[in-house]
Amino acid sequence: MSTFQSTTSINKPISEIYSFLADMNNHQQLMPADDVSEWLSTTDEASFNIRNMIKLVLKIENRVPDAEIRIIPAEKPPFEMELKWVLSDGGDHTEVLFTITAELNMMMKMLASGPLQKLVDDETANLYKLLN
């Protein structure tokens, strides 16, 4: 299992950040705009194409209020994966950890590791810009 992580600290209450992340309609704003197309979403699910790679359909599997959002594929992906947002209250700010875990064979690891790390970094950076 390969793990890709990125963290940020946002000067907003945990409940505000949780409410934003708990709605898949908001996740389009977190994606790198140049790499994502054909975005369709509801509160619980999103489908989109990642340029030159794959079409993904993701759904929120579990929400733990003000703590965690777990997102998994709604349709069979090219590899098993999980996306997880973990929030922790830092008093006057909220600590955010975004993790993608993926079951990658050696060839996929060579091809996908860079883009997946860039994705987690871009999503946390965009969350920071939008909400801080």
pLDDT digits (tens, 9 = 90+) for 19-75: 999 999 999 999 987 878 899 999 999 999 887 677 889 999 999 999 999 999 998
pLDDT of res. 37: 87
Domain 2-131 class, CATH top level = alpha beta
Q: What is the pLDDT of residue 36?
A: 85
Q: Which of 124, 100, 123, 113 shows the shortest CA–CA distance to 36? A: 123
Classify strands 36-41 and 81-89 as parallel, antiparallel or unpaired. Answer: unpaired
Task: Report the percent of the chain where pLDDT is more than 70.
Answer: 98
Q: Where does the pLDDT of residue 79 fall: very low under 50, low under 70, confident under 90, or very high at 90 and above?
A: confident
pTM: 0.92
